[in-house]
Amino acid sequence: MTGTKRILIVGAGFSGAVIARALAEAGHSVQVVEERAHVAGNCHTERDPETGVMVHVYGPHIFHTANQKVWTYINRFAEMMPYQNRVKARVGDSVYSLPINLHTINQFFQGVMSPDEAKAFIAAKTQTGSGAPVSFRDQGLAFVGAELYDAFFHGYTKKQWGVEPAELPASILKRLPLRFNYNDNYFSHQFQGIPRQGYSDAVAKILDVPGISVALGTRAEDVDDPFDHVVYSGPLDRYFGHGDGHLRYRTLDFERFTYDGDFQGNAVINYCDEDVPFTRITEHQHFAPWEDPATRSVCFREYSRAAGPGDVPFYPVRLVHDKALLSTYVVRAEAVEKATFVGRLGTYSYLDMDVTIARALETADCLKQAFATGARPPVFVHRPL
């Protein structure tokens, strides 16, 4: 059946908002429900009432992309201020630069090596087996050698994921660069920034178009009205009532504290030692360097743990057991009529914001085409296995 559709979109993060706007602009009637009291999902930002600092409530988010289309899109709804993420790492009583670069190497090994000298020095320390690295630990030893791996990756990774690094896939570490120059920009993408007024303001503007209604504090399970189609960005296993078990996530606990002045001089400092219980400290005034320095700074210590019922899911674990359970839910989803699963939770995938927006735009195009032709809408535009 073609023509105008009544669409229910579950979740008001980037996935839900981008798809909602595209469908509304195509003439469809869109109802967005979000169980939290705010839009933007885990990208939510707000002014801290005590300090006035713009806080990334669920941890820092830096927008970075090489996708011109996505960059143009986000700039329609936000004034993107230039920002480069320059992470520091504390190991023992020393502070180093991340990602590992020539400064890190020279400081750690107390040398003054040139780029070529450092390349040869690190190459002599790497440990490679007969085949491609399989585990995170294998990749780390092949990447930088034992000393740098033990200092910067081993303890931090155990705290972040709650398992031995030898149990994690090598792909997690393959995302990180190793530089033999003094470039300490954490990302390499052409476009990098943070919205001047925060991410929640940007998402609210995406949703501000005729044809969209937004209901905050509303669970999908409590919506009884019939809809022609559902776009679901909530947890995939929750859609099926966790009938085959719970997909595993890591969640974060945030310990807030304030400081008169500047606490650490940087937005993010990782604490790599395994005996330090938190993974990092974020100081949020440094995520908005265009604003006047705060008289009183607000900081958060981050603690990672397994997500339980009622916790906010952050990172899908995706080990062998989890992927097997995921495959079960994907089969169930593909048998569902009139539903499309999207986003980090709906596809049980780790997605950066730019990829989330790109996939949402692609999904919206597929849905518009299906609605216009009467074809069956896709269950997954990107199958999550």
Please write the tens of the pLDDT for every residue from 225-262: 889 999 999 999 999 999 999 999 999 999 999 999 99
The verdict on whether 175 is a catalytic residue reads: yes
Q: Domains in the chain and their CATH numbers? A: 6-84+192-245+318-373 (3.40.50.720), 99-174 (no CATH)
Q: Average pLDDT for residues 73-88, to the nearest whole number?
A: 98
Q: Which residues contact 238 (CB under 8 A, 6 or more apart)?
A: none
Residues 273-289 pLDDT 10s: 999 999 999 999 999 99
Residues 298-340 pLDDT 10s: 999 999 999 998 999 999 999 989 999 999 999 999 999 999 9
The verdict on whether 359 is a catalytic residue reads: no
Asked if 19 contacts 363 with a C-beta cutoff of 8 angstroms, the reply is yes
pLDDT > 90 in the chain, percent: 92
Q: How many CA atoms lie within 13 A of 15 on its CB side?
A: 28
Q: Average pLDDT for residues 55-71, to the nearest whole number?
A: 98
Nearest to 238 by CA among 132, 371, 345, 106: 345
Asked if 351 contacts 359 with a C-beta cutoff of 8 angstroms, the reply is yes
The catalytic residue among 21, 83, 96, 179 is 179
* pLDDT recorded at residue 12: 98
Nearest to 236 by CA among 128, 319, 313: 313
The catalytic residue among 50, 305, 334, 350 is 350
Above 80 in pLDDT, residue 3?
Answer: no
> Residue 259: phi, psi to the nearest 5?
-150, 135
The verdict on whether 350 is a catalytic residue reads: yes
The verdict on whether 21 is a catalytic residue reads: no
Pairwise CA distance, residues 268 & 255, whole Å: 15
Least confident segment among 129-143, 336-350, 364-378: 129-143
The verdict on whether 250 is a catalytic residue reads: yes
The catalytic residue among 238, 248, 280, 318 is 280
Residues 18-49 pLDDT 10s: 999 999 999 999 999 999 999 999 999 999 99
Output the CA–CA distances (angstroms, integers) from residue 207 to 31, 40, 69, 381, in the order listed. Answer: 11, 10, 19, 22
The catalytic residue among 250, 296, 301, 332 is 250
Above 90 in pLDDT, residue 171?
Answer: no
Count of beta carbons in the 10 Å neighbourhood of residue 27: 12
The catalytic residue among 175, 225, 260, 376 is 175
The catalytic residue among 34, 237, 302, 354 is 302
The verdict on whether 179 is a catalytic residue reads: yes
